[in-house]
Structure 1
């Protein structure tokens, strides 16, 4: 992948270059209500920005623009249980790897050796037998454990999670009155994520109706958020960081809408970094169908394992400064953790120094950060020049 775009310096590749200090009181513990009352930092030029409210989003968009949204739905992926010794433990399901085997992050991991049996309890008001699982082994890439669940007949774990699982709020949300539905977008459909695509949490049905009325188009992708999105970057040279794969689908219908938007002069604006990873990840797999700098009327569907109308598979694409964009022109995003791959992705769009300046402006204006926090709109006019 050619990552030679823009003016680069050594700090753009150094993990320490993505640090900033955030006062703890700025970490949002609860979402605002209604959702579109959150604040919006609008970045519309290489030097300027504006402060507004998310419900004003249509004022910054144009008829013919295309918003690309991730329709994944968060599953009740956190399970609580104990070993036969009575030791309490918890598991965060990441993905199914075999029919009854799931990869999970577990605590305390070091005390859960292969062969150990654990039992997970149902919700307190549901008198159901515990779910049993055996530790089959350790995944070296994630540090997680493979859990083989003991389920009879044709029962599937997914069908039982509403009784046994809990929607996993992020670890920095420690004092919240939020309910699980507030950690789902209003357009969530495809169950499979362990974390919400949080930029989409600001949309309300009323706002979506207004966007429709103004001729602002929408398209859906699916990327199931897993450890690849929130796993910390731990290497000093970020270019050596390896992303964990995440499952995605970009349909032929979505590629058609992208192509048509570009043909009519509309702007393709991703709602959230997961939508970015879906579009750019699918495009990068379709080698030759979407060339760097050539997206437009020539855009074609990326290949798929199920036909020629889209892409269905996994991506481990890591986007950082110097990345050559293929599809995405603008971005709606929340504010991200220091030293995170998400911060690096957004830096690839506007530049690392510029993004850190915007974060300092947001802190000075007392924006709310992270999953339940406020949003930023980066318009194509603010992007790094080629």
Structure 2
């Protein structure tokens, strides 16, 4: 064994990178991660508590987010950065270390609003919308969930009736992130030939939005209902290159990918807070980090964080090599959301009563993660997706 190797083995690994995952990243990937981390530390963390408490989204950050190239960053051309899936994932991780609402904004813009135009739109639609969306000049939202149809999205009642050169939309979409601030809605509706996607601009007669208030989760995020009443859109606003549930489900897979990464950032923020607190909080004349039960909690949190990070890194590598299967996304989304939420709860227990205040980020993350645990496919739905892949038997019906 060389002296250098011995010295390296003697070094204690970083508490937040026990498996030296940093070593597995390329220089570009580390640069993206560190750039977004710096932005979150300097621009997000100083203001996010106030926005969470007030129930407002920090819209003033949108130009800076766009300037960093984060909107549609995993798409090629049309003013988009064209970065790898791993780079996109790392950006989501760092954004959600700030707040789930911020990562949700970027996820919806890039994966749920820009991606369907990129994947299923006409060339005219791509050229018209994507560069402006990448610059943050046009904000998008994704209209799929309805008041009576969440997990069973295929049962949607929103309809699109052809009338000459137009479609007439009627229906309601609910729990729509960015809905109240969006300039453009990607709306999925039932047409005569199946489920179709439509681009509906703010200000179109018959299209209105109403924000959902009194939320205890994702408070620094805009959540809305979309209402369509005899709303006429040009037939040219239909996404021409997809029909059926393949369209919206493929968009959801894009978003779920980012969520799988994002929640590791929230978990890391909770773990780091609990670790630092445990080392400085003195009880019975010594830091509580010296107690066996506290060390057990920290060890469990660190272990789950490593596992989640390794899951997402492999997920990103598979996506970049075009080998990714949807069930792999479901596995990562289910595991990482579940363990991030458990990490937040364990971290809160270490802080005791201090953990419920906005002086520390833990309860904010914990409340946010309750929503992330549910949206883009509930824990139950992803469990059944995995079960079907394992058994070949559909348990949904």
TM-score, with length taken from structure 2: 0.25
Whose helix fraction is larger, Structure 1's or Structure 2's?
2
In terms of fraction of residues, the more strand-rich structure is 1
**Structure of higher RCO (CA pairs closer than 8 Å, 6+ residues apart):** 1
The normalised TM-score by structure 1 is: 0.25
